[in-house]
Structure 1
Amino acid sequence: MRDLSRLLRPKSIAVLGSGWAKNVIEQCQKMGFQGPVWPVHPSREEIAGVRCYRALSDLPAPPDATFIGVNRHATLDVVAELAAMGAGGATCFASGWEEAGEADLQAQLVAAAGDMPILGPNCYGVINYLDGALLWPDQHGGRRVERGVALLSQSSNIVINLTMQARGLPVAYVACLGNAAQVGLAELAGALLADDRVTALGMYVEGIDDAAGFAALADAARAAGKGIVCIKSGKTELSRTAAASHTASLAGGGAASSAFLRACGVAEVSTPAELIETLKIFHLCGPQIGGRLCSLSCSGGEAGLVADLAAPFGLDFPPPSEAQRQRLGDILGPIVAIANPLDYHTFIWGDGPRTTDVFTTMLAGYDAGIFIIDPPRPDRCDPSSFQPALDAIVSAARSTGKPAFAVGSLPENFDEDRAIAMMERNVVPMMGLETALGAIRAAQTGPNRGGWRPWAVVPARPLRMRDEASAKALLAASGVAVPKGGTSATLAGLDVAGLEAPFVLKGLGFAHKTEAGAVRLGLASLDGQAAMAGATGYLVEEMVTGVVAEMLVGLRRDPVYGATLTLGFGGVTAEVLADTVTLVLPVTEDAVVAALRGLRLWPLLDGYRGRARADVAALVRAVMALQALMAASPALDEIEINPLMLREAGAVAVDAVIWEEAR
């Protein structure tokens, strides 16, 4: 692992270029950087009022960090010279490398750098708000802080936008990866989190280059008490095999990346606003908050709005305990209905001690509390009457030790100065009710599986599909039950002796037999059956009866995350139901059960309204057997069982598709 400390926390900075270099120098001056900044230019005497050096060799010492703002061909020579002189690292601003089809030129850049770390190319650089050190050629909206979160992005524009936030989030670092030719996502993220002054990490990620390294990073962050929250873009592209696989279709749209982040214990959000609000929670409260929430407001309308907006997020608002009911009733009187969310009315408004008592009593019984409060705009109104309620939130958080969220129903109802003041008093100010609820849900990451790592990626290779009979033979040998049956190259060759009707007749050689008209069910005999166009052979089996549910189980190699598991309700309506969940392998039995319980139709497996209970344990055993098979057989690319018939006792794979390396 490269040492990025000099690059991220430099004592001296060199800048090359002209206009871009001027911006870097001015930003360092504006932020109060205490070390020397050395412009290097072959003909200019000064840039931004700072004396220029003619060449790198003229510098007083090897620079800790260098901003390289020259063209891509000159960048190669500069990087090689910096590496040779023992510089601490550089950011390469120029574009026109691999992103422009110049992969060889980018490879030359990496070779020129050697062991010296470089960010980019095609990269904006780094801002260190802790020490005032900027390798940054543009405007930004940040300020000096003593501690705060780090922002890491694969898009420079996105992270510039994030620095313009006026939500009170203290930002310690901003870093861009650009093309990540040398220093990758996990490596840079780990270096940022290694600074004790960094409390959490927010990322905008377009692609994960090292899934195992990312999982290790998440482990280390959680062990250090630092949360990670991520926007993962590019989630709508389906896999190359989506047309031939229910699993690929149902696991598309970012299901694999979301499953990977969940397994790592990383919070995932969809919008920059949610990213900022979740980071505020992690900054003050650490990487995980509990699931039992309370909500307090002085309006029944606000209480109802919280309940309605929270429902899609699955947030839990348990009722107050009897002791809480008694105490709150004593303070608020008989008119107020004690509930959660709580409308405490305005009888205590302006009474600091009573408001504090109510807020503290409620918050003490929960993991965290939402306090709806919208201070009036100070330019047209007098917000002073709201101060007792704001102070009461602070007091409740301090006395209970529980996270407290002061939530403005509209983003603009908390100005930046008030938000910063609340953050400094260890209360999380949150802008916009729906955004706040999404951030709170994201912060409930749950424990990550410490030490978990995804499987290694198997390189892409030509594939072939096994016929169903061969696929089922492999499943049966691995401990997955299949129907009793027989095969033949022709219909006339099929023999049903020893089989019990009703029968299922299938044509072999189809990925989706139902759509091809290659499945006939409930046959008393094979007499009079016509041949199936396109069939490469035939399979006859005993029809499985006594079915409680039809499930889909799909395992497939993934080019980023190693391999995934998709579980859900299957059969011919699998895509219509779209009730599936995706996990990244390897999985445990407990993880499989938890995933199944999260399905919308889980009650149908669990005896809903007197229905028979499905043998979920048999399903789990089948999943674990398939995982073991996939782990032991690198040639296997995808295994799909659709459906796996669940009975009250047992599970039977009645249809199976296996794709494997073509040999």
Structure 2
Amino acid sequence: MLKPPRSLERLLRPRTIAVIGGGPAAEVVRQCDRLGYAGDIWPVHPTKDEVAGRRAYGSVAELPGAPDAAFVAVNRHATIEVVRDLAAAGAGGAVCYASGFRESEGQDAGSNGLQEALVEAAGAMPILGPNCYGLINYGDGALLWPDQHGGRRLQEGERGIAIVTQSSNILLNMTMQRRGLPLAYVLTAGNQAQTGLSDLALALLEDPRVTALGLHIEGFDSLSGLESVAARARELKKPVVAMKLGRSAAARAAALSHTASLAGSDAAAAAFLKRLGIARLDSIPAFLECLKLLHVTGPLPGYALSSLSCSGGEASIMADAATGRRVTYRALTPDQARAVKASLGPLVTVANPLDYHTFIWADVAAMTVTFSAMAAAGFDLNLLVLDFPRGDRCADAAWQPTLEAFAAALKSQNARGAVVASLPENISEAQAEAMLARGIVPLAGIDEALAAAEAAADIGAAWRTPLPAPVMTAQGAPGETKTLDEAAAKALLARHGVAVPPGRRVAGAEEAVTVAEELGFPVVLKALGLAHKTEAGALRLNLGDAQAVRAAAGDLAKLGKDLYVERMIEAPLAELIVGVLAEPPFGLVMTLGSGGVLAEILRDTATLLLPASRAEIEAALLGLKSAPLLTGYRGGPPADLAAAVEAIEAVQRLALAEAGSIVELEINPLIVSTEGRGAAAADALIVWKESADV
């Protein structure tokens, strides 16, 4: 990715716009007029005297000056020449609308050279795309956008969120939302041939009219660029959320065909975003609702929610919707419960979520007392479930007192609050905008509301910890590889401080017996050179005497492999899998999880990018479903968690020290004994670059 050294200021906030081409270029003019753009617009067309009511110029060379921004809507071959002319004229930047560049070739199918030629033609001039719609600046009314859109211009002093995507159609759809979400900018990056999402994100964060940033990511343009975005977002206190595609193989393939972007594995992508404090949402509605919440409240200080509704059914739905999430409905203390109870009377059961019944419906004073008592309990976000009747057939006057009481309660307690409609259509755009003006977040959909709150709390938690070190970038394709057998792999692990059971390579049954007697019974006997020993019948456990070793060696000799004798690890409390993979574009990716035969059955894993801190490693282990085995399940003894973390740190040291050579490393299982008795690698596999020395 070539980083444009020139500022994006002129492109994003242009005072003059050139539009080059036919129909799409004319539509840019019409959309600028519709939004009230006050700058000059200069159409360029070789045969027309006029485009959309503006005088047309025959070429870029004939323009009255160097445009701040240009929309280039000609075919892909002509695009290269027009971009070259714009760069030579000193233009501030260009949107390249045409497709048929790298995205039409596929990542590995070779190149026709057009995308490379386009980047070369642009030189230092920033370009968006190719294969993109461009941008809309709702603050200044400036568009380089060849289609309709659903946004409105920001008023003087108004602020909004910014969204950057690679998909033009997805972004077009987002502008059509009727959720009250104020938009300051929308931008598409297309193929990211030169200017990527991280470049655009950094530029948008600097605009004081932008409150929060949303990224719709098909493929990462630059890991270091996004690390810079995360750091700057913290400095400016402007949270960033993302929708990262690629949870399925089909989605990763689609991303490749769409923009020729390498999506990478979903687990690694999720770990990278979490590492940076960029919250990830999995649906467009949740993505938009989270941006709306962050626009008003910023990151939440914690995960504690309150819920108010006048229906027991709604209270139950709200409770169920939090199941499996990190957000919780913290119970009221006895004093807090008494304060709420006093405002409601004896017939109401006080709980969180609270069904306040309809006894006080339409009584603003009574509802204000109840809502204030809940808000005074110090929840990180207070939710009021309120679905308004449809405006074309019904009246909502009876619902307004509830909203007034909620607003008064939030103000009196200086608390954060959101109104949640169970159905998106049950808050109109006008109602949503009116709530936003009062500092109340209108959230559409219960699941979306809780997903938004969880993401906002995740960002708050991330911002309370230091930014991690930059990730270890990938070292390129491995080429030819070799797999170390277990004896060689364990020797390498031991050199880097990973505990391994005493063991030795042997040539036959008698040497196996001799070594077993030296190590001490019971022992394990293995055939070397097989990746899955259990399935291959290449493993014998708990051999207690020379006769058992001799018999096992005879059986394993049929596999035609060298043998390995190892002292048996007694009384393991837990088994973990520890893996490291060199995975572009993320570099070294570590997987921790339940190990042994359960590794593929439970798929209970956590993913970290290296380097990872000790705190991150420990948090990943304690976040596993099997974590109770480590901490002491049902009164059982705790595992030696410290030894497990130390072993994983040693694996990390090995991986970082050998980053240019290692392709894959797996310990399965890492056997963790009871507290104070350590952790050791019972089996290991390492794949190495053929050219590397072990």
- Shared fold (TM-score greater than 0.5)? yes
Q: Are 1:338 and 2:350 matched, yes or no?
A: yes
User: TM-score when scaled to structure 2?
Assistant: 0.91
User: TM-score when scaled to structure 1?
Assistant: 0.96
**Residue identity matched to 1:497:** E
Give percent identity, aligned residues only. Answer: 48
Change (3 A) 1:208 1:621: same
* Counterpart residue number, 2:198: 186
Unaligned runs of 5+ in 2: 106-110, 253-263
CA contact (8 A) 2:498 2:650 kept: yes
**Residue identity matched to 1:86:** G
**Residue identity matched to 2:530:** F
* Counterpart residue number, 1:171: 183
CA contact (8 A) 2:303 2:326 kept: no
CA contact (8 A) 1:15 1:66 kept: yes
Distance 2:507 2:92 in 1: 69
Q: Are 1:390 and 2:419 matched, yes or no?
A: no
- Paired residues, number: 652
**Cα offset for 1:289?**
4.3
Distance 1:181 1:9 in 2: 21
**Cα offset for 1:533?**
5.0
Residue deviations 1:165-207 (CA, integer Å, cap 9, x gap): 1111001111111111110121111111111101111111011
**Residue identity matched to 1:632:** A
Q: Are 1:119 and 2:128 matched, yes or no?
A: yes
* Counterpart residue number, 1:571: 596
**Residue identity matched to 2:30:** E
Distance 2:409 2:6 in 1: 45
User: Relative to structure 2, which stretch is displaced further, 649-658 or 314-323?
Assistant: 314-323
Distance 1:234 1:595 in 2: 22
Distance 1:342 1:294 in 2: 8
Distance 2:26 2:557 in 1: 75
Q: Are 1:537 and 2:557 matched, yes or no?
A: no
SS of the equivalent of 1:583 reads strand
Distance 1:103 1:534 in 2: 51
* Counterpart residue number, 1:452: 469
Deviating 4+ runs (over 4 angstroms)? 532-535
SS of the equivalent of 2:670 reads strand
* Counterpart residue number, 2:108: none
Residue deviations 1:516-553 (CA, integer Å, cap 9, x gap): 21111122332223235555311011111111111111
CA contact (8 A) 1:510 1:535 kept: no
SS of the equivalent of 1:396 reads helix
2:296 to 271, 277, 284: 284
**Cα offset for 1:497?**
2.9
Q: Are 1:583 and 2:608 matched, yes or no?
A: yes
2:632 to 601, 607, 611: 607
**Residue identity matched to 2:169:** N
**Residue identity matched to 1:300:** G
**Residue identity matched to 2:325:** F
User: Relative to structure 2, which stretch is displaced further, 256-265 or 101-110?
Assistant: 101-110
Distance 1:609 1:238 in 2: 42
Residue deviations 1:577-615 (CA, integer Å, cap 9, x gap): 111111111111111121122111211211111212100
* Counterpart residue number, 2:520: 500
Unaligned runs of 5+ in 1: 241-251
User: Relative to structure 2, which stretch is displaced further, 396-405 or 424-433?
Assistant: 396-405
**Residue identity matched to 2:138:** Y
CA contact (8 A) 2:582 2:589 kept: yes
* Counterpart residue number, 2:666: 640
User: Relative to structure 2, which stretch is displaced further, 358-367 or 132-141?
Assistant: 358-367
CA contact (8 A) 2:500 2:682 kept: yes
User: Relative to structure 2, which stretch is displaced further, 277-286 or 52-61?
Assistant: 52-61
Q: Are 1:62 and 2:87 matched, yes or no?
A: no
* Counterpart residue number, 2:455: 442
CA contact (8 A) 1:289 1:368 kept: no
Distance 1:357 1:292 in 2: 21
Distance 2:560 2:296 in 1: 63
Q: Are 1:482 and 2:537 matched, yes or no?
A: no
2:412 to 383, 399, 414: 399
Q: Are 1:516 and 2:536 matched, yes or no?
A: yes
* Counterpart residue number, 1:43: 47
**Residue identity matched to 1:9:** R
SS of the equivalent of 1:234 reads coil
Q: Are 1:259 and 2:274 matched, yes or no?
A: no
Distance 2:680 2:284 in 1: 46
* Counterpart residue number, 1:108: 117
Matches within 5 A, 1:13-162: 13-101=17-105, 102-145=111-154, 146-162=158-174
Distance 2:608 2:372 in 1: 40
Distance 2:618 2:58 in 1: 67
Q: Are 1:230 and 2:242 matched, yes or no?
A: yes
Q: Are 1:549 and 2:574 matched, yes or no?
A: yes
CA contact (8 A) 2:472 2:586 kept: yes
Change (3 A) 1:502 1:397: same
1:655 to 683, 687, 691: 683
